[in-house]
Structure 1
């Protein structure tokens, strides 16, 4: 079944997105829900389509789909952010008072400090004007902290002891660091002598995110939630690879440490939110629908010269709800339900039997603006190719690259050819491969765009009922 979507706005320039959030021009890179509105603050260069001159641009929405641009929330104007207002987070304090926590650049050496800002008028539903108090900065790197890699404070969480805590990314030599700070009043912060978490050999940690997920429910949790049926997610954006990685584990507030589960891997061999262009993501709790929303940013694969020529670069990806998989070993993501409102003209192909090597074209949709639901089913999985035990040493991304979209298997590869030219000189395959292991089947989902590989591995336990 194929469903075409109506773009959220008219697309008048080639390659611009129809329903991803994207400013009208220039370069983009902490969301929040407050009093009926979603607020998106984003890194933005008002002077060009490259990095530099960074401000916190600001847009608001009722539904996470249709956005209204409002004046920039934060821009360099004080000694404590004279050379840039870099990433951070928003926290809603008791009494329904939002606070922005952000990294300020104070000199040409990129010395980084942590500042805060508060709304000038809480009765303004758009929260257009923000004040940066003169007691900034409120966190300054000490001798233990590398002051040039000290940025991106997380949403703060409130402990049962009455202290607020936040973690800030950085590094010591080649060790990635999540520095931990605590405060009673959200103004005076003290560094905990050990990090919340760290890992050697991973390089600089950018844009950390730390949040709880429910073990027995699909509901989202407030960032301060803790308890017996709660696990925690720790995510970092690795400066060395430009991807987002996460682990699942346990937060021990009495020890002020996060410990990943024993099967988790920190760094580039670990779990990723996404195997496409996905970086500098941020999650937030949406109390209006009791869900946690994950939002990432995608840089583009073209050159800087092309970005400058067309006048913009990058998009915010579609927001996703995120929950813990029932197996407790990974997160599950799905586009927010509001995206359904964009679905328009329906084009359907049903009960089509595909033979080996057959390709079927879908007519009546605009390829660049299509939302596709597809289900593949089989009478039997007996012909699935054997899963070589040596492949267990490979992560899914490497296995996708090894097998590819053209190497024949017992039940595949099969899937979709997207962005295909008329005679298939060019296309991006999104395809599946099925393997038969000892007691179950393994399914590999890959995408191959100019040798770039996207992958998800799932296990099929019921061999007689397999649907994707």
Structure 2
């Protein structure tokens, strides 16, 4: 691969200023909700995971970062890395805006390893048409940068310019190698304002040719498909995207924007044939912009952004905002994807307490732990014998009655995350449907200082939501509500979790 470096304007100075911005926010950070188990910036706003890869013995996770405040702003690329997917360290900020095509933001993208063992980043250079804001639309182009250590990057400039001035959204490239050819997909809002995913191909990673629109959303109100991904699983291909303009129906797609996937078949040079319905990646309040990559052992892994779209966002007052999910492994389960915490996450467990089986009378509760900031909970509910209408756990319960409820709801026939008792942040509830012909329900719940992730029946459904506790000790309490009889818990165990941050990292 031979491409000249792009002259950039004060790139080192821009990176130094961004580091100083994060450091300033870090020094005044309030840690009451800062995560111990989830990737976040030391300070500032973060959103989409970017450039996920394994390179030269380390896993690399980059992410969209605004280093000068706790609301969305000019995007940079933050960076963390890990040897083992368990403990992480903060790395220097990888990229800052430094040439004309990206003057208003280094937007999302992906990473691949070239044949000469260089880390190649493809991302979107972003600028406002009016130079101020989005009122007159975006100017977006796909750009390229190269690194030999995963830390320092040489920008190579634009490799795919936007082909039509009427296109206002043209972003988020995902690249992979298919045989001897490189493939790229990214999201487009067409001149007719239809959300599509376009595919390009290249033999040299530098010169790219348009292949086809590989996917168009069937709903004409969906005007943009952000952060698309396309990858093989078994003998199928998965296309995932984050849909802008998708309307909710019933329990479906209740968030501001919603990330999901379709499963089908595809051969290079041909069309994608959809064989499944659209499914949400995650049914919690806060999940968006997932990106997958392949681990050295062949596993398909995914990170998502726990997106705090709905006001109020209380962590913005604490000098940081936003985090990623824990890493999950993806597998096929019929016409669905199954996602579960990577097995390495088990290494963070300590002080496991086994409560065995519990028979809880209706409208009763039982305190399990008195003061918990992080926890890994495994629980199995006997649905066949239980007659209570709601059975579950009050998480982050404080003395004023604040809590987030994670439960099975027999009337809704699903698992619920209910935040209506929270003082801080958005409230409301979310529901994940169940196959209630099963006799048991398995829940695996990851609790952090400010969030819950709920894995249902070995990850057939997942729910990720923020939960901002009130002041004071944070209990975990088992509850059974209403109905005609008891709740039967076959087993429940709770482990504390050690931090993911290496040594004294921030």
Q: Which TM-score tier does this pair reach, normalised by the shorter chain?
A: 0.7 to 0.9
Distance verdict in 2 for CA 1:302–1:236, change over 3 Å: closer
- Structure-2 change in CA distance of 1:355 and 1:307 (3 Å): closer
Measured in 1, the distance between the counterparts of 2:413 and 2:177 equals 38
**Residue 128 (str. 1) matches residue 151 (str. 2):** yes
1:299–1:313 CA contact under 8 A, matched in 2: no
2:42 counterpart (24, 36, 42): 24
CA distance 1:184–1:196, change in 2 (3 Å): farther
* Number of aligned residues: 387
Give distance in 2, aligned partners of 1:455 and 1:333: 17
**Deviation at residue 361 of structure 1 after TM alignment:** 1.2
Task: Determine the structure 2 residue equivalent to 1:140.
Answer: 161
1:272 maps to 2:281: yes
Aligned to 1:149: 169
Q: CA deviation at 1:418?
A: 1.5
Q: TM-score, normalised by structure 1?
A: 0.76
Residue pair 2:380, 2:441 contacting (<8 A) in 1 also: no
Measure, in 1, the Cα distance between the counterparts of 2:242 and 2:78. 21
Alpha-carbon separation, structure 2, partners of 1:155 and 1:361? 49
- Equivalent residues of 1:197, 1:259 under 8 A apart: no
For residues 310 and 243 of structure 2, what CA distance do their matches in structure 1 show? Answer: 21
What is residue 348 of structure 1 aligned with on the other side?
354
**1:178 corresponds to 2:154:** no
Q: Which has the higher contact order (CA 8 A, sep 6+)?
A: 2
Question: What is the aligned counterpart of 1:445 among 393, 409, 415?
Answer: 415
Alignment root-mean-square deviation, CA: 2.5
Aligned to 1:419: 396
Which residue pairs with 1:77 in the alignment? 98
Contact 2:127 2:140 in 1 (8 A): yes
- The secondary structure found in structure 1 opposite 2:92 is strand
Q: Say whether residues 1:35 and 2:63 are aligned partners.
A: no
User: Are the structure 2 counterparts of residues 209 and 351 from structure 1 closer, same or farther at C-alpha, using a change threshold of 3 Å?
Assistant: same
Bigger mean CA offset, 100-109 vs 25-34: 100-109
- Deviations 1:24-73 (CA, angstroms, capped at 9, x unpaired): 11011121111210111111112111111211122211122322222222
Q: Which runs of 4+ in 1 moved over 4 A?
A: 301-308, 460-463, 465-468
The CA distance in 2 between the partners of 1:167 and 1:115, in whole Å, is: 13
Inter-partner Cα distance in structure 1 for 2:208 and 2:193? 26
Would the aligned equivalents of 2:109 and 2:174 in 1 still touch at CA under 8 Å?
Answer: yes
Q: Is the 8 A contact 2:379 2:442 kept in 1?
A: no
Quick one: distance in 1 between partners of 2:182 and 2:399? 58
**Does the 8 A contact of 2:284 with 2:417 survive in 1?**
no
Distance in 2 (CA, whole Å) between partners of 1:349 and 1:112 is 55
Matched, 1:249 2:268: no
Segments of structure 1 that go 5 or more residues without pairing to the other structure are: 1-10, 215-229, 384-409, 436-441
- Structure 1: how far apart are the matches of 2:430 and 2:233? 25
Return closer, same or farther for 1:332/1:308 CA change in 2, 3 Å cut-off: closer
CA contact (8 A) 1:197 1:258 kept: no
Q: With structure 2 as the length reference, what TM-score do the two structures score?
A: 0.71
Equivalent position of 2:233 in the other structure: 213
Q: Which has the higher strand share?
A: 2
Contiguous gaps of at least 5 residues in structure 2: 1-28, 132-136, 246-255, 421-426, 444-506
Shift of 1:15: 1.1
